A and B are shown apart, each in its own frame.
Chain A
Amino acid sequence: MKKSMLLITGLLVTVAVLFVNAMESENDGLEVGDVATGFELPNVDGKMVSLDSYKDAKGFVVIFTCNTCPYAKLYEQRIIELDKKYSGKGFPVIAINPNDISKQPGDAMEKMKERSSAKGYTFPYLRDDEQNVARAYGATKTPHVYVLNKEGNKLRVEYIGAIDDSPSEEADVSKTYVEDAINALLDGKKPAVTSKRAIGCTIKWKDA
């Protein structure tokens, strides 16, 4: 009797620890090597976009970005170039704006529509109103990039972080982190650099 009680207590503790760990990893978001979850979010063209609908994609360049952050603006043209260069090769850009519009009205869907048409975005620009995707991915700032690689029906996170090493001047870029990661994946290799941090604007979270 005593033994079985001990066993049950032990099991309960194990379950509790697993549960807490699961919660922690959920809060921390995705890390390189993790399997990313898909999502479905509204696009600037009024339609819903889901990663599942990209049957021919080899992976994705998911970029949390926005209209209003000066760093995001500095990278805007480079994001367009990334999509032009890699969507045809199987790695389309999927841009997601997670900012709370009560704190940042300039990031409302209407403003996103204006920006994407004015700048000629070649990729979806989605609104994450509930901020669930940003939370699930563990995005903290704009711009914040996740390079995902398709493995069967799974999406493996292969790179997280900065687009390149020179936010200020595109001419001064010496390391193209995201391009290097995608090129490696296209060659069937793992990226040599899997994470590089950069300065960015804090995502404007909804008040809890």
Chain B
Amino acid sequence: MKAFFIAIILCIGLSSQAAAQDVKAIKLPELDKLISESSDELRIINFWASWCGPCIKEMPHFDKLHTENKAEVYFISLDFPRQLEKVAKLVAKKEIKAPTYLLDEKDADQYIQKIDNNWSGAIPATLFITPSGKRYFYESAFTEEELNATIEKLSTK
């Protein structure tokens, strides 16, 4: 009986480990591809970092849109590359399901401009891309209500 429970616990442990996603470091061209690919869905690219409190607070709202198939969501960590493991651990702990990458680029000025020219570099920041290819950039944090209202508004564009 005891062995049976241990086996179950082991299984649960292993399966939850398998469910945690692997966070990969990407370069700007790969991010560019994520941004510019065409899609029938609203695409949301959220910029965050493990050290950014307001970012971590808003992540579950975005992740919910992903799990409920309401949008194509990507999380882009702007942590330093040496912190990849820390980022992966946090993503696992928060049970983030939407694909998460770490942007491994040193020249912030270059990628900030490329992602949105109005972005000053403050995070959290989020880029919404409608199926018609229109881009909407927000340099601010979202509550769940604000995010849903924004999605609603963008669905008509």
List residues of A whose CB falls within 8 A of some B CB.
70-71, 140-141, 144, 161-162, 165-168, 172, 196-203
Q: Do B54 and A197 touch across chains, with their CB atoms under 8 A apart?
A: no
Q: For the complex, what is the distance from the CA of A196 to the CA of B78, rounded to whole Å?
A: 17
Kindly list chain A residues whose C-beta atoms are within 8 Å of the C-beta of B141: 202
Q: Do A168 and B123 touch across chains, with their CB atoms under 8 A apart?
A: no
Of all chain A residues, the one with the shortest Cβ separation from B47 is A199
Of A165, A168, A199, most B-chain CB atoms within 10 Å:
A199
Kindly list chain B residues whose C-beta atoms are within 8 Å of the C-beta of A144: 120
Q: For the complex, what is the distance from the CA of A197 to the CA of B113, rounded to whole Å?
A: 8
Interface string of B109-134 (1 = CB under 8 A from A): 10011000001111110000000000
Q: How far is the CB of A42 from chain B (nearest CB, A)?
A: 25
Contact partner, A199, options B54, B113, B121, B140, Cβ 8 Å: B121
Give 15 A-B contacts (CB < 8 Å), ordered by A residue: A141-B121, A144-B120, A162-B108, A197-B109, A198-B108, A199-B78, A199-B108, A199-B121, A199-B123, A200-B121, A201-B52, A201-B123, A202-B139, A202-B140, A203-B122
Kindly list chain B residues whose C-beta atoms are within 8 Å of the C-beta of A201: 52, 122-123
Instruction: Answer yes or no: B33 CB below 8 A from chain A CBs.
Output: no
Instruction: Answer yes or no: B49 CB below 8 A from chain A CBs.
Output: yes
